[in-house]
Structure formats: structure tokens, C-alpha cells
Amino acid sequence: MGPPGAGKGTQGELLASRFGIPRYSTGDILRAAGRDGSELGRKAQGYMDAGELVPDDVILGLMTRVLLSTDAGGGYLLDGFPRTVEQAEGLKDLLEAADQQLDAVLNLAVGDEEILRRLSSRRICEKCGAIVRPAAGTESCVTCGGHLATRPDDRPETVRRRLEVYREQTEPVLGWYRQSSTAVLDIPGTGDVGQVQERILSGLAS
């Protein structure tokens, strides 16, 4: 968990590859659905572009399908889900039904000014969906050659709305987990990628 631009995707990819487990990012799944023009993409696009959350029933339906189709033997990492208390309650029911346990909640903390700075330099590849912070003047994706563009929801006015939505709807999820018996690890998200990853790994080990 963490506000937009906290590094959930970057740190999540590193963790998933280190532990050899899948990472399920609701944001990535929704953007891919938007590129494919699927029904899910059509349902989600307007909310995403406006910086609002996609409705809970859509997200819970999506994650039910994802989690039912996964072989959870080695575990998995959830990135950007749950984002509301209702989603957290839905996840609890899903885990209970599947006889699975949530080991820990990772909360990446980054201040608003740093978020605005990070998101203004972030780009998305229109072809493969990679999210990158390219060197000045770089306009093509190093992986697939696709055009790099600003994510529609990374425009400053939309980022401000996403931050409000985060405070109003997502931060309460942390309180909800803190009251339960789930371990919540608060990780400062500032510094370079390797430093943050080290903090996460030592938090998980303790």
C-alpha cells in the first residue's frame, strides 16, 4: 500500500522476482484492459482518468477471478489492492474461503511534494504499459520501442485528486489492518530504489 507514486509497482516487481511469486497489480490489470478495449477497461477508464477509484464491486469481481485462477502454493503479492475498507473486507472473505493467510501489509510512506515531483517525470509506454522515469529527451520505450507518454492520471490536477482519494478512502484501510492481527510494516519510501528494497526486506525478516 501507499499513495500514488510511492513506489508500489517498482518495489513490488523487485519483491516478486526475489521471492519468485506472482504480483497482481490492479492498476496494471485495469490499464491492460483499457488498451485491449475489453469490457473491464471500458468500465474502469473514466474513473481512472479522473483520479477516482474504480467501484468496489468491479474490483472485487476482478480480484475474485484473479485469485481463484492462481496457484497460491508459493504465495503472491498484491499491489494497489485493497484500496477501501470494503475491498479489505472482501479480501478477508476471499482468503478465508481459500484457506489462505495475509502475511503482512507493506505501507510505503512518501510526502506529497516528493510524490508530485516523481509523478511529473513518470511516463508510460503506450504499447507495452511499462511505467518508467526516462532520461530527459528519451521518447521511446527501451523494451519495445513504443511511444512514452504521460499517464493521463499523472497530470497535476488529477494527482491532487488521487491524493485526496488516498487520504479519504485508502488510508483508513491501514487503520483497519492495524486493529486486526495483521502485521503492518511502515516503510519510508524515500531514498533510492535499492535502499527502500533493503528496508522492506529487513522489515519482513523482523
Site residues (CB under 6 A) for ligand AMP, limited to 74-133? 80-81, 83, 87
3-state secondary structure 38-85: CHHHHHHHHHHHCCCCCCHHHHHHHHHHHHHCCCHHHCCEEECCCCCH
Q: Per CB under 6 A, does 162 bind ligand AMP?
A: yes
Q: Which stretch binds ligand AMP (CB under 6 A): 23-31, 122-130, 138-146, 176-184?
A: 23-31
Q: Which stretch binds ligand AMP (CB under 6 A): 45-53, 69-77, 92-100, 133-141?
A: 45-53
Instruction: Decide if 162 is catalytic.
Output: yes
What does the block give as the cell for 24?
Answer: 497482481
Q: Which is nearer to ligand AMP, 54 or 67 (CB)?
A: 54
Between CA 74 and CA 25 the distance in angstroms is 17
Rg (CA), the chain: 17
Q: Please pick, from the candidates 2, 6, 24, 26, the single residue that binds ligand AMP as defined by CB under 6 A.
A: 26
Q: Give me the residue whose beta carbon is nearest to ligand AMP.
A: 27
Catalytic residue among 23, 31, 118, 162: 162
Catalytic residue among 23, 83, 123, 199: 83
Going by C-beta distance under 8 Å and a sequence separation of 6 or more, which residues neighbour residue 116?
Answer: 5, 156, 159
Q: Per CB under 6 A, does 163 bind ligand AMP?
A: no
Going by C-beta distance under 8 Å and a sequence separation of 6 or more, which residues neighbour residue 106?
Answer: 1, 2, 11, 185, 187, 200, 203, 204
Q: ω into residue 82 within 30 of 0, thus cis?
A: yes
46-75 footprint of ligand AMP as x/- string (CB under 6 A) = -xx--xxxx----x----------------
Instruction: Decide if 8 is catalytic.
Output: yes
Q: Per CB under 6 A, does 30 bind ligand AMP?
A: yes
Q: Per CB under 6 A, does 196 bind ligand AMP?
A: no
Instruction: Decide if 122 is catalytic.
Output: yes
Q: How large is the angle between the packed helices 85-98 and 56-68, nearest 10 degrees? A: 20
- Burial letters for 154-166: b for 16+ Cβ neighbours within 10 Å, e otherwise? beeebbeebbebb
Catalytic residue numbers read: 8, 83, 122, 151, 162
Contact residues for ligand AMP, defined by CB under 6 A? 4, 26-27, 30, 47-48, 51-54, 59, 80-81, 83, 87, 153, 162
